[in-house]
Amino acid sequence: MKIAKIAVEAPLKTLLSYIIPEELQFIEIGSIVSVPLGRRQARGVVFEINTTVSEKIEKDDNSFQLKEVSGIDQEYSAAMIKNYLPWISWIAEYYFYPIGLVASLLFPPLEKKAKKTSRKKSAIPLVEKEIPFKMNPEQETIYQAISQNMNFSVHLLYGITGSGKTEVYLQLFDKIMQEGRKGLFLLPEISLTPQLVSRFAKRFGDKLSLIHSQLTDRERTQFWWDIVEGDKSILIGARSAMFCPIPNLGLIVVDEEHEASFKQDEKLKYHGRDTAIMLGKFLNCPVILGSATPSFESWQNGLQHKFQIHRLTKRVGTAVLPDVEVVDLKISKDRSKELGFPFWLSESLFNEMQIHLEEGSQIALFLNRRGMSQTVICPACGHTKECPNCDIKLTLHAHNHLTCHYCDYHESFKKKCSDCKEGEMEPLGVGTEAVEIEIKKQFPKARIARVDRDEIQNRLDMESIIEKMENHEIDILIGTQMISKGLDFPKLKLVGLLLADIGFNMPDFRSGEKSFQLLTQMSGRSGRHVKENEKPGKVILQTFNPENESIQFALQANYEGYAEYDLNNRKMLDYPPFGKIISFRIQSKHLDQAQQIAKKLAHRSFTLKDSNPKYEPIEILGPAESPIFKIRGDFRYQLLVKSKEKNLINQFVRQLLHDEKWVPSTTRIIIDVDPQNLL
């Protein structure tokens, strides 16, 4: 009798055993089956097949009659899925997530339709094909080094902005396609611009597939089958694209690998970069991580020779880096006031904007905060407006409504203070919407556009903005970090970072690294096509803290110097990449329950640590209120487990969580392995 061990699409930690009936004896490892689960039918993936003489299994002194597999979904071949199963098992174990729910990510969102659907506007543009560019000596050296061994290895391609990393990727993809293999190109969602897709389309024509959240479910399903069944050779996508079971995968590229958005915050909290590396390991193909500002985890792995570091030190052709000027807002704000400007518009930036507009250049103004103002305050009593569901101040939009960016709560903005009934609420701080209004006032003839989550709702909105920038129908582009990645406009020659300080003082050990990366990436948008004998691009970096280390190193474009500085600080505290952190977030609608379970979890943690000498290197921090204590009505506490012994920490957490019956159903304990955000 054959028994199948199946990962059922349900929140269960283990595989379930089912009898394979006579009529389904052709079931094999990787088959997609339906099985009875309680009173319903559930989908599952076959991970193991064993032979037994009994229809019963022993469990906790009780004997259970096994149920039979109900049916098989023959839309998917077992061979298609089988190679990905060891990787799925690793993800489930490493991130403490139900294996059946991880396995369910291998499938497209909808059932297959035999007839291809026509798209109103293809997500992949029809463009004239181009031949590969001749690579410069640096690019050629890197191409040769990687292409000599196409088995599993990890390559960190560290290249300054505009240095031609994409051309190296394109030529390596070309190589594997000629060998009859397929490629996977991953970017953070924020970098998935039509410009990038167009660049690949020029080289590979109709051999591309595309998977990301801005596509419809039907489009994603169609693209999924296009790459799986062999019509297409390269899949471009956000982190979820790696779960598409691509046959004969020969190369994985993770571009902008430093981006925090590669880490999923909801449900399965996996890191796209780390899971992509493990996919390469299980499928024995090379993985390339590309960035102008690599994550310190990847950089340290390179320094320890776990990854191979390849450097691109010059911009492509004769293009030169922009000039950077730092403006101290503490000093400039008085002059701005004299001129009738808001504090964030310095005389230097205003003058440079005038010059560049007269010269016919384009300008980008960057502020990583949307809305009219950060919040509103009553000067008479100090009252501010807070979200009733979250421990967050409401943001003013369009002078007339207040919004929470966490739970989407809205209320009308009323001038009269609801607390003291005397004072009038006034905006405090600044957002992109307020910047747009002021810039229109200062430069009435300029054509201005804003890019933030309020203005850009879907792929078509972003495509429209990019098209207008390319056709020079926009003079000044104002935006959040949505404009800091992957965009390349020949006429963009001035970048203004309005408040570089945003992010410096976040209660997170990575805040300096993230700020440095954002400043460097945004500065890299300026003057990408300026030649040696031309006036270089310009960056005006405005800050209240010009002496901040992130700014000082960014000013010198000295990534390696800043990495050394920050890594030395982290090493003293065993923070990643020298140690490992697992975060527990305890949340409940009931404050006393969240508090009680957080204390109980801490007690269990300390008891487990004290009971076993091998857990001595484990450090337990907390419990404490999360920096944002309340979101969507949930009260949140945090407990961190930290250790230099990276393998030991997973063992500790597994033992700690072997029995969760003590946690009431109204409280959740959410585990985050290698957290990128501790808010």
Class assignment of domain 137-312?
alpha beta
Angle at 173 between CA 172 and CA 176, to 5 degrees: 90
Short-list 280, 181, 187, 192, CA closest to 233: 181
CATH topology of domain 580-673: Alpha-Beta Plaits (3.30.70)
Q: What is the pLDDT of residue 421?
A: 85
Distances (CA, A) of 629 to 134, 340, 425, 634, 678: 54, 39, 25, 8, 12
d(CA 355, CA 351): 6
- pLDDT of the residue at 115: 54
Q: Which two tokens stand for residue 419?
A: 């607390």
- Confidence (pTM): 0.89
Give me the pLDDT at residue 415, please.
86
What is the per-residue pLDDT for 662?
A: 86
Q: In what order do the strands lie in the sheet with 308-312?
A: 208-211, 234-237, 182-186, 249-255, 287-291, 154-159, 308-312
Domain boundaries, the chain: 2-106, 137-312, 323-370+431-569, 374-428, 580-673
| 509 Cα distance to chain centroid | 18
For the chain, first and last CA: distance in Å? Answer: 52
CATH 3.40.1440 fits 2-106, yes or no: yes
Classify 373 as helix, strand or coil. strand
Structure tokens at 154: 């990890």
Note whether 81 and 106 are within 8 A (CB).
Answer: yes
Q: Give the residue ranges of the chain where pLDDT is below 50.
A: 60-61
> Strand 580-588 and strand 634-643: pairing?
antiparallel
Residue range 599-630, pLDDT digits in tens: 999 999 999 999 999 999 999 998 999 988 99
Q: CA-to-CA distance for 187 and 487, rounded, in angstroms? A: 13
How far is the C-alpha of 109 from the C-alpha of 112, rounded, in Å? 9
Same fold, 137-312 and 323-370+431-569: yes
Contacts made by residues 263-268, CB under 8 angstroms, sequence distance 24+ = 263/674, 263/675, 263/676, 263/677, 264/239, 265/677, 267/97, 267/101, 268/91, 268/95, 268/97, 268/101, 268/102, 268/105
Domain topology for 323-370+431-569: Rossmann fold (3.40.50)
Q: pLDDT tens for residues 517-556? A: 888 887 777 777 676 778 888 999 998 888 888 888 988 8
Q: What is the pLDDT of residue 191?
A: 62
